Chains A and B, each alone.
Chain A
Amino acid sequence: MANPVRRLAGAGALYLYGISRGPGVSGPKPLPPKFSPTLAKISSAGIDGVHTVQALPCGEFICWVCEVDQAGFAQAMEHNMENLEWLALHGVRHQQVVGEVAAQTAIVPARFGTIFSGEPALVKDVLGRKASLNKVFARVTGGDEWGVKVFAEHAEPVAAPIEARSGKEYLQQKAARMKKRPERNDQELRELATALEKIATDSAPSGKVSGAQPSLLWQATFLVPRTKRKQWDQTLRNFVEKWEGKRRIEVNGPWPPYSFVSDAD
């Protein structure tokens, strides 16, 4: 018997933030008893800053969506993705909603910018990947994503100015210099990585956007079970002490598991 699907008011396209499990679904970790998608109120603004976020029942799943204007938003998005200002604002909006849901129940975040032409297309797609979604839920439920970065504490010696005849040549030389940074893959950094990987369920490379931060030596993203949070913090603290004055560690999180859901594709 198919679950009835609530019809959304308008006929616009649907922006998908991510997918949760509906209430009453058995799994490794059932939803907290208080959670009810129909009562869950997402207070953050929708992706377009106009529409509200809605919980759309979809079989055993809940899709977190926001209606968007087909012409004004959906079709302009590919072009807008190249606009950093647009990307920054909408990336923040995306995170606000996904983060709000993640604080209430496990969510498998959709890729940023996922839009469906309408409800039937969304429902068909989600129901079609039921098995792989359930696998991902089993892995990410009860875990948070954490980013870890290591910076050199002392400023590197001032490099000689780059001499180049063209912009392209300048960039090539700059890239070559950045590759030569000596400390990037030394024994101690590997020790940290190994220690963190032992606690984490999974790890992934990170830093598409912030990869060029000055003095950055190493960075990675981890999926950490909430039950191991103390051990995680303590391990990091140990390295902070050990490296005092030499290297600085920055950790950011807890994030929804953005980097660990791609096998639901």
Chain B
Amino acid sequence: MDRGRHTRLSLMPTDFESVELLGGGEEDISLLEILDHVLNSGVVIHGSLVISLAGVDLVYLGLNVVLTSVETALRNLQAEEKRRLK
């Protein structure tokens, strides 16, 4: 398996030792994980409440669709930060 070399937004990290995110630098963590933890503190997402009524977590499917656009947004963010730090 391609250990530790997945991209920043890979959907499924392959090895527990490869996923580290504190301390700045390369953040190697999937968007799903970020949302899992950030939203775990009890926030009510209205949209997901409606579509999970049937017991299927469609947010996951939905996120697949938006992954690409978020990746682009993140890249812009990083570029922007680099410019600011110069």
Contact = CB atoms under 8 A, between A and B. Distances in A.
A81 B45 CA distance: 6
A207 to B, nearest CB: 6
A89 interface: yes
A26 interface: no
Contacts of B17: 233
Contacts, number: 170
Contacts of B54: 168, 171-172, 174-175
Contact of A111 (B35, B41, B47): B41
Interface residues of A, number: 63
Interface residues of B, number: 54
A193 interface: no
Contacts of B77: 45, 49, 93
A203 interface: no
Among B37, B46, B55, B70, the most chain A Cβ lie within 10 Å of the Cβ of B37
A262 B62 CA distance: 27
Contacts of B33: 147, 210, 252
Given A43-B81, A87-B35, A221-B40, A209 B60 contact: yes
Contact of A206 (B16, B27, B36): B36
B2 interface: no
A94 B38 contact: yes
A103 B24 contact: yes
A59 interface: no
A138 interface: no
Interface of A: 43-45, 49, 78, 81-85, 87-89, 91-96, 98-100, 102-103, 109, 111-113, 144-145, 147, 168, 171-172, 174-176, 178-179, 204, 206-213, 221, 233, 236, 240, 249-255, 258-259, 261-262
Given A113-B43, A254-B21, 5 more contacts: A88-B63, A102-B22, A174-B56, A208-B48, A251-B19
Interface of B: 12-17, 19-24, 27, 29-43, 45-48, 54-63, 65-67, 69-70, 73-74, 77, 80-81, 84-85
